Amino acid sequence: MRILPLRIWLQSTSLLAVLAGYGLLLLFNQQLAGLQRTAAHRQLTDQLVAELTSKARESSQLQPLLDAALLPGLRLQLLRSASQVAVSPDLDSRGGQEWLVSQVQLVLADGSRAQLLVEENVSSSVQQERLAFWLLAVAAGVSSLFTSGLLRLVLQRGLVQPLQEFTTQLSATQAPPLASDQIPVAEQPEELQPIALAFNDLQQRLSVSWERQRSFVDGVAHELRTPITLISGHAQRLLRQPGLEATAPSLRLIQQEAQRMGSLVSDLLDLARQDSGRLQLRRRPILADEALVQVYERLASSSGWRLHLETPAAELPVAMGDPERLQQCLAALIENALHYSPTPLPVTLAADQQAEALVLHVRDQGPGVDPSERDEIFGRFARGSAAINANSRGSGIGLAVVRLLMEAMGGSVQVADAPGGGADFQLHLPLVRPLEVPPSA
């Protein structure tokens, strides 16, 4: 069920209330006119009865008096049936005219009784009443339209605009919330002040909660870096010592897991720094071939030589970004691609130019990414259906960190279908503008 906007609901309800008020006023005016007409008719019949009973002492004298009475718009007639009950005035339409008809009883001096039929022509009165009714109806309609327009202006100035300004102030609050993001309560209309107070209280509680969470993640990540580094270093030292062939597989596993935990801690630190506004980048000119060769030389052996490097078909322009953070992004994408590409299928590195961006590609030959999940997988702790089906033990923050770093460099990360199947993860970097002076290291 669709709920109407509050402004329309208030305007419609108020207009209906105004129309109902005018309708009751017209009905009351019509009833009042009828009562006044009936009262005047009763007064007239009472005067006739008083005059006839004073002049006629017996019933035979009534008819001559009635014949002699020449009253415009009035008909008097004696009825043969002597009913003991008087008939109240009733409006009767005949021949396009309106008559008010009533019966009264005459009690004469000799004790005889007679029934008098009184018919009064009230056509003029009824026509004036109807004309007044329609004039009032037209005036009520015009007044309702004026009231509706005035009410629309009042609602716009008194309700819609304050709510819009209040919504703008709410939208301007930062995420994560800061303790300083407070809505000025005194500047709000009286009706909105309780909402502003409640929002400010919620902002304060969210700010405290967010700060605690951020401090916890930042502190835990810092505390974990030292023991993880020690574990990894001691595992590497033991692997270099002779006579430990039996324990070498366990030592390698310890080293690999320590490195994985170290990468996870680094990702958590990046997320914490971004949330607190402390993430710092060093933007420099980046050459595509140098960036790809560097990551290839660093990871080719550990990938089982499954990493392939394509030579660009043409000379590529210079991009702008943080070289170290770009290496971190490429390493995360390569690790992800190696995990989803069946051994011994390769993972390919390539580069090209698309519009005003330098694009670095990491292509695998795995199951690919469903189109409906291509944006969701870059969210924090989000995992696609391919990762769930493959029982991957990934943390769900690697791709989120890649997006975070790329956006901090002014670029973006996307995923598309790779030629021949699989996923094509693309890092888009902005090109160096002709007048841009690269910042010094």
| pLDDT above 80 for 438 | no
> Are residues 210 and 115 part of one domain?
no
Instruction: Return d(Cα 337, Cα 29) in angstroms, integer.
Output: 86
Query: Residue 268: pLDDT band by 50, 70, 90 thresholds?
Result: confident
Instruction: Return d(Cα 359, Cα 139) in angstroms, integer.
Output: 72
Q: What is the pLDDT of residue 440?
A: 47
Closest to 357 (Cα-Cα) out of 410, 295, 418, 434: 410
Query: Residue 358: pLDDT band by 50, 70, 90 thresholds?
Result: very high
> Are residues 198 and 83 part of one domain?
no
Mean pLDDT of the chain: 82
The residue among 260, 276, 292 that closes a domain is 276
Instruction: Return d(Cα 422, Cα 404) in angstroms, integer.
Output: 24
| pLDDT above 60 for 436 | no
| pLDDT above 90 for 153 | no
Convert the pLDDT of each residue in 45-57 to its tens digit.
888 888 888 888 8
The residue among 239, 258, 276 that closes a domain is 276
Q: Does any domain span residue 166?
A: no
Instruction: Return d(Cα 331, Cα 299) in angstroms, integer.
Output: 8
Closest to 312 (Cα-Cα) out of 293, 326, 331: 293
The DSSP call for residue 156 is I
Total residue length of the chain: 441
> Are residues 377 and 299 part of one domain?
yes
Instruction: Return d(Cα 110, Cα 27) in angstroms, integer.
Output: 47
Q: What is the pLDDT of residue 184?
A: 80
Q: What is the pLDDT of residue 70?
A: 67
> Are residues 343 and 240 part of one domain?
no
Q: What is the pLDDT of residue 352?
A: 93
Q: Does any domain span residue 175?
A: no
Identify the domain containing residue 393 by its residue range: 284-430
Q: Does any domain span residue 152?
A: no
In one-letter notation, the amino acid at residue 235 is A
Q: What is the pLDDT of residue 178?
A: 62
Better-scored residue on pLDDT, 164 or 404: 404
Q: How far apart, in Å, are the Cα atoms of 187 and each of 153, 182, 194?
A: 21, 12, 12
What is the separation, in whole angstroms, between the first and last Cα of the chain? 61
CATH of the domain at 367: 3.30.565.10
Least confident range of 187-201, 205-219, 427-441: 427-441
> Are residues 103 and 239 part of one domain?
no
Q: 109: helix, coil or strand?
A: coil
Q: Does any domain span residue 184?
A: no
Name residue 97's beta-bridge partners: 94
CATH of the domain at 255: 1.10.287.130
Handedness of CA 211, 214, 217, 220 (dihedral sign): negative
> Are residues 140 and 14 part of one domain?
yes
The two structure tokens encoding residue 317: 């322009």
Convert the pLDDT of each residue in 97-130 to its tens digit.
888 888 888 888 887 888 888 888 888 888 888 8
The two structure tokens encoding residue 109: 């001096």
Domains contained in the chain, number: 3
Q: What is the pLDDT of residue 177?
A: 64
Whether the pTM exceeds 0.75: the reply is: no
The DSSP call for residue 379 is S
Helix, strand counts (H, E) of the chain: 10, 11
Q: Does any domain span residue 182?
A: no
Q: What is the pLDDT of residue 83?
A: 55
> Are residues 262 and 337 part of one domain?
no
The residue among 241, 276, 311 that closes a domain is 276
Least confident range of 66-70, 146-150, 278-282, 305-309: 66-70
> Are residues 61 and 32 part of one domain?
yes
Q: Between the ranges 52-56, 81-85, 178-182, where is the mean pLDDT highest?
A: 52-56
Q: Does any domain span residue 169?
A: no
Instruction: Return d(Cα 90, Cα 81) in angstroms, integer.
Output: 19
Number of CB atoms found within 10 A of residue 308's CB: 14
Closest to 359 (Cα-Cα) out of 398, 325, 406: 406
| pLDDT above 60 for 82 | no
Q: Does any domain span residue 154?
A: no
> Are residues 108 and 212 part of one domain?
no
Instruction: Return d(Cα 141, Cα 307) in angstroms, integer.
Output: 81
> Are residues 226 and 90 part of one domain?
no
List of E strands, 31-151: 74-79, 87-94, 97-107, 113-121
> Are residues 208 and 225 part of one domain?
yes
| 176 upstream amide cis, omega within 30 of 0 | yes
Instruction: Return d(Cα 325, Cα 363) in angstroms, integer.
Output: 20
> Are residues 207 and 121 part of one domain?
no
Q: Does any domain span residue 203?
A: yes
Instruction: Return d(Cα 361, Cα 350) in angstroms, integer.
Output: 5
Calculate ∠ Cα 38-41-44, nearest 5°: 155
